[in-house]
Structure 1
Amino acid sequence: MQQKPKNFDPDVPSGILLINKPEGQTSAQVVAKVKRTLNAKKVGHTGTLDPFATGLVICCINQATKLAQFFLKGDKTYEGVLHLGIDTNTQDKTGEIISQKEPHCNETEISAAFRSFLGQIEQIPPAFSALKHRGVPLYQWARKGCPVQKPPRKVHIYDLTIQTIALPDVYFTVKCSSGTYVRTLCADIGKTLKCGGHLKELCRIDSCGYSIDHSLTYEQMAQETMNMLKSRIVPIADALKKVPKLIAPPAMERQIKNGGRLFRNHFSQEILKQGNILKIVTPDNMLLAVIQWHEESNECKIIRFGLSDNK
């Protein structure tokens, strides 16, 4: 028997919605709740937040799901609590304790350890992570008793500030690059202090320039009218707030709409110097395309958007 097509609300605009994820929910569950609440055709998130963690999840709605790749590469800011003296197999509070040692470090030693992780560092991704080995997430290998160690990866710690020390807990904020594991950072700081440590609490407070202050909790979502919820969606043309914007000349607009190619020499040096990603919009701020260029190629990669995608 042929299935009936699903009925979606055609008036849900493409854009992003900021959600404050509660503890115990997966990022996929947040996406499912937003999709169900809005009755949207497509919803995706822009970076996994562990179930025990809380905070900002950027949900891309309808055609804005094409933008998720750019949010994934953005910087993030977190508030966290490092618990010294206990190592766990997952590097956070959800894991099994594998070693314990009384932390005898003082504030000066803790501050020095934190400072040593500023700048570009190398991290070994945790065995319990969503990275894949032979197509299978690492956490599945680890749960089978066959943990896989990935090679170290370079990440950047832009800011790492201690807020309060109340041993065995250290409260901190960290601004870091995409791909940083805060629980690995905590475990490494514990190792530096020779007492071990794990991530006890984590809250994402900023992602790609969006603050948790402008996000909706589950309770607020339930209380909002549908029109109010839709008004909270950041329009697709404005979603990538840190990406420079170019109003397309008529010839370029036709080129994009007709599926034509774009090359670096279509843009001035002033535009090229602003970065390797550019939003191209119409004079009335409808998103036509997001383009990327690479040093090794003159041709731009184009992600196209129809005018109907902006509604």
Structure 2
Amino acid sequence: MSGSEKQARPKIPRRALDGVLLLDKPLGLSSNDALIKAKRLYLAKKAGHTGTLDPLATGLLPLCFGEATKFSQDLLEADKTYEATMRLGIRTTTGDAEGEALETRDVTCDEAAVAQAMTRFTGEIIQVPPMYSALKRDGKPLYEYARAGQTVEREGRSVTIHALEMIACALPLVTFRVTCSKGTYVRTLAEDIGEALGCGAHLTALRRTGVGALTLEHALTLDELASLSEAERDARLQPVDALLSTFPAVQLDDEATRRFLHGQRLRLDDVAAARVEAGRVRVYAQEGGRLLGVAKAGEGVLAPERLIVTAQ
């Protein structure tokens, strides 16, 4: 094909699309590559994801389109639920099956000992972030130091393990479910459990099943998405406020809606459903029930934070 023919190829128009896609990310694909594929299928102008999953991991990856991208940070802060399998007796360079074996030890524990060790890792715990992570030191990701054979000092960070339960045990393999706070490394959790058992461990499989209130129940794979028509794909998008379901709701009348969309602070006593606790709320118009954005309620005031442009 000549240069002139390449230049003559028409650009495919992109669509202004608002909503949330619950994607079941496949094994071996980065979160960014999954986003690019989904964005191309939807011909969307604007899209973003709500936190990365390693290529080794599968499962729930909420993707945001259009106005929903404004609220992706709220899911970054949300608790996550995973199902994971660890292999006792082998430590690796990365803490998972992608790394090279560092050490092999005998596995002398039984299922009861594994269950007992896991009880030590619930509640608030301290984790030292792995070297193979995107955290930065002096402007450079830790994984770049690791690939160069360097190890840098990392401070332990407080994370919360809300729930941790064994699903299956066929030693040396143990499958467990964990619900944890933002910033938790499940690879590190598996390694730490292995050290508590005296044999070491690494992660062999990881599947995310929940992000905040969102679950895999209505998630689609990329192959399923590709098999649908444009109308069917659009119908599978969740509304923008799917990202905000844990926030209390406030409704505004027409005049308060107008002022809110102009970024004005409102007295809680002057708006509908004003009896809300201090904190972040999702705000709707009484007329039509459309989402207007999110606001912070406190000290008698409703202060706009992020607005939905299309609501105007």
Q: Which residue, out of 41, 48, 64, partners 2:45?
A: 41
CA distance in 2 between counterparts of 1:238 and 1:96 reads: 40
Answer yes or no: is the 8 Å Cα contact 2:264–2:303 preserved in 1. Answer: no
Structure 1 pair 266–83 and aligned structure 2 pair: CA distance change class (3 A): farther
> Equivalent residue for 1:9?
15
CA distance in 2 between counterparts of 1:294 and 1:45 reads: 30
CA distance in 2 between counterparts of 1:231 and 1:56 reads: 18
CA distance in 2 between counterparts of 1:217 and 1:265 reads: 46
Alpha carbon RMSD of aligned pairs, Å? 2.4
Answer yes or no: is the 8 Å Cα contact 2:15–2:44 preserved in 1. Answer: yes
Structure 1 residue 49: Cα displacement: 0.5
Q: Which residue, out of 55, 58, 67, partners 2:62?
A: 58
> Equivalent residue for 1:146?
150
Q: Find out whether 1:272 has 2:267 as its counterpart.
A: no
Note the alpha carbon deviations across 1:70-106, whole angstroms, 9 max, x for none. Answer: 0101111111101100011111111111111011011
Structure 1 pair 5–261 and aligned structure 2 pair: CA distance change class (3 A): farther
Provide the secondary structure at the position in 1 that maps to 2:276.
Answer: helix
CA distance in 2 between counterparts of 1:287 and 1:150 reads: 42
Q: Which residue, out of 295, 306, 310, partners 2:309?
A: 306
Largest Rg, 1 or 2? 2
Answer yes or no: is the 8 Å Cα contact 2:20–2:240 preserved in 1. Answer: yes
- The 5-angstrom pairing of residues 218-297 of structure 1 reads 218-262=222-266, 270-273=275-278, 276-283=279-286, 284-292=288-296
Pick which of 299-308 and 229-238 moved more: 299-308
Structure 1 residue 213: Cα displacement: 1.9
Note the alpha carbon deviations across 1:97-149, whole angstroms, 9 max, x for none. Answer: 11110110112211111111011111111111111122221111211222333
- The letter for the 2-side match of 1:277 is R
- The letter for the 1-side match of 2:206 is L
Answer yes or no: is the 8 Å Cα contact 2:75–2:243 preserved in 1. Answer: no
Answer yes or no: is the 8 Å Cα contact 2:89–2:105 preserved in 1. Answer: yes
Return structure 1 stretches of 4+ with deviation > 6 angstroms.
263-269
Answer yes or no: is the 8 Å Cα contact 1:21–1:217 preserved in 2. Answer: yes
Answer yes or no: is the 8 Å Cα contact 1:55–1:204 preserved in 2. Answer: yes
Provide the secondary structure at the position in 1 that maps to 2:121.
Answer: coil
Structure 1 pair 256–19 and aligned structure 2 pair: CA distance change class (3 A): same
- The 5-angstrom pairing of residues 114-263 of structure 1 reads 114-262=118-266
Identical columns (%): 37
Matched pairs, number: 302
Structure 1 residue 153: Cα displacement: 1.2
CA distance in 2 between counterparts of 1:245 and 1:286 reads: 12
Structure 1 pair 107–220 and aligned structure 2 pair: CA distance change class (3 A): same
- The letter for the 2-side match of 1:213 is E
Answer yes or no: is the 8 Å Cα contact 1:22–1:54 preserved in 2. Answer: yes
Q: Which residue, out of 24, 28, 31, partners 2:28?
A: 24
- The letter for the 2-side match of 1:282 is A
Structure 1 residue 265: Cα displacement: 7.6
CA distance in 1 between counterparts of 2:158 and 2:120 reads: 15
CA distance in 2 between counterparts of 1:135 and 1:262 reads: 41
Q: Give me the TM-score of the superposition, normalised by structure 1.
A: 0.90
Q: Give me the TM-score of the superposition, normalised by structure 2.
A: 0.90
Answer yes or no: is the 8 Å Cα contact 1:124–1:149 preserved in 2. Answer: no
Structure 1 pair 214–149 and aligned structure 2 pair: CA distance change class (3 A): farther
CA distance in 2 between counterparts of 1:204 and 1:220 reads: 19
Provide the secondary structure at the position in 2 that maps to 1:128.
Answer: coil
Answer yes or no: is the 8 Å Cα contact 2:82–2:179 preserved in 1. Answer: yes
Provide the secondary structure at the position in 2 that maps to 1:105.
Answer: coil
CA distance in 2 between counterparts of 1:214 and 1:190 reads: 34
CA distance in 2 between counterparts of 1:105 and 1:294 reads: 53
Gaps of 5+ in 1: none
Structure 1 residue 34: Cα displacement: 0.9
> Equivalent residue for 2:75?
71
Provide the secondary structure at the position in 1 that maps to 2:67.
Answer: helix
Gaps of 5+ in 2: 1-6
